[in-house]
Structure 1
Amino acid sequence: MEIFAMTADQNGPQDNQRKAAGVSLFRTGQSGSYHDVSPDLQTGREIFSGTLPALFNPARVWESLAQVQADVKSKSGNGLFLEASDHPAAVAFDILRTRLLRGLAEKGWKRIAVTSPTHGCGKSFVATNLAFSLARRPASRTVLMDFDLRHPEIAQILGVKDDVDLAEFLAGHQPLESEFRRFGRTLALGLNTHPIERASETLHDPDTVTALAAMIEQLDPEVVIYDLPPALVNDDLLALGPNLDAVLLVTDGAQTSPDEIRACEKMFEGRIPLLGVVLNRAQDFNAGRYRYAKK
Structure 2
Amino acid sequence: MANHDILLSSARWPADLGQAPMDDDSFRKMAEEIKRPRTTAVSVFRAAPQAAQHPTVLPASEKDAGSTALNLSAPNPDRVWESLGVVTFDPAQLSGKGLFIESQQSGVTTYFDILRTRLLHAMQERGWKRLAITSPTHGCGKTFVAANLALSLARRPSSRTVLLDLELRHPGLAKLFGLADIGPIRDFLNGEQPLESHFQRVGRTLALGLNSTPIPDAAETLHEPSTAASLSEMMIQLNPELAVIDAPPVLVSDDMLALLPQVDAVLLVVDGTRTTTEEVRACERLFSNQCPLMGVVLNRAQDRKLRRFGIA
TM-score over 0.5 (shorter chain): yes
CA shift at 1:53, angstroms? 6.1
Match status 1:105 vs 2:133: no
CA shift in 2, pair 1:133/1:156, >3 Å: same
CA shift in 2, pair 1:285/1:150, >3 Å: closer
In structure 1, the gaps of 5 or more residues are 1-13, 33-50
* Structure 1 or 2: more strand by fraction: 1
Q: Which residue of 2 aligns with 1:8?
A: none
Return the match for 1:91 from 110, 117, 120. 110
Match status 1:180 vs 2:194: no
Asked if the contact 1:135–1:187 (Cα under 8 Å) also holds between the matched residues in 2, the reply is: yes
2:147 corresponds to which letter in structure 1? T
More displaced stretch, 246-255 vs 105-114: 105-114
In structure 2, the gaps of 5 or more residues are 1-34, 53-69
CA shift at 1:285, angstroms? 3.7
CA shift in 2, pair 1:257/1:205, >3 Å: same
Deviations 1:2-40 (A, max 9, x none): xxxxxxxxxxxx996554xx121111479x9xxxxxxxx
RMSD of aligned C-alpha atoms?
2.3
CA shift in 2, pair 1:172/1:15, >3 Å: farther
Asked if the contact 2:42–2:48 (Cα under 8 Å) also holds between the matched residues in 1, the reply is: no
Secondary structure of 2:104's match?
coil
Aligned equivalents of 1:269, 1:227: Cα separation in 2: 20
TM-score between both structures, scaled by the size of structure 1: 0.82
Match status 1:203 vs 2:222: yes
Aligned equivalents of 1:250, 1:141: Cα separation in 2: 23
Return the match for 1:239 from 229, 235, 258. 258
Secondary structure of 1:265's match?
helix
CA shift at 1:55, angstroms? 4.6
Return the match for 1:56 from 52, 65, 75. 75
Deviations 1:66-120 (A, max 9, x none): 0112221011122101222252211111111011111112211110100000111
Q: Which residue of 1 aligns with 2:61?
A: none
Q: Which residue of 1 aligns with 2:180?
A: 161
Secondary structure of 1:85's match?
helix
Once the two structures are superposed, the pairs formed by residues 274-289 of structure 1 within 5 Å of their partners are: 274-286=293-305, 289=307
Match status 1:115 vs 2:110: no
Q: Which has the higher contact order (CA 8 A, sep 6+)?
A: 1
Aligned equivalents of 2:111, 2:159: Cα separation in 1: 20
* Structure 1 or 2: more helix by fraction: 2
Secondary structure of 2:250's match?
coil
Q: Once the two structures are aligned, what percentage of the paired residues are identical?
A: 55
Return the match for 1:213 from 232, 237, 249. 232
1:236 corresponds to which letter in structure 2? D
TM-score between both structures, scaled by the size of structure 2: 0.78
Return the match for 2:247 from 208, 228, 243. 228
Return the match for 1:261 from 264, 280, 293. 280
Deviations 1:31-63 (A, max 9, x none): x9xxxxxxxxxxxxxxxxxx9562530000000
Asked if the contact 1:142–1:188 (Cα under 8 Å) also holds between the matched residues in 2, the reply is: yes
Asked if the contact 2:182–2:210 (Cα under 8 Å) also holds between the matched residues in 1, the reply is: no
